[in-house]
Amino acid sequence: MASEERNKEILKGLHDAVIAYDEDKTAAWAKIALDEGVDPYTAVMDGLADGMVEVGDLYSRKEYFVPELLMCADALYAGNAVQEAINMISRQREIHREQPAK
């Protein structure tokens, strides 16, 4: 489990990567978050989604436009894809454990 300071660093990394519309960095930070035990819900809401909130603010201030919004959304999905893959593997392991031995 990551320390509180490390958690903040990871969430900021997710947030900043989304704003920079960097899919590779977003996916890398998402993997780090999962590897270091950051709660997936917290990573999504306080990292990825919070980044998109700031993207919306940048759009409102006419600093970002539709192309930037779309690229940021792609970065968001890159982070979610890593999370979804790990969650799917975890669910498969749980199902395997629940099956009775033959």
Per DSSP, the residues of 28-40 read HHHHHHHHTT--H
At 100 the pLDDT is 65
Residues 6+ apart with CB under 8 A from 24: 78
Q: How many domains does the chain have?
A: 1
Q: Residue 27 is part of a domain; what is its CATH number?
A: 1.10.1240.10
38-61 pLDDT, tens per residue? 888 889 899 999 999 999 999 999
At 26 the pLDDT is 96
At 87 the pLDDT is 72
At 101 the pLDDT is 60
Q: What is the mean pLDDT of each run of 10 residues along the chain (102 residues)?
A: 92 98 96 88 92 98 97 94 72 72 60
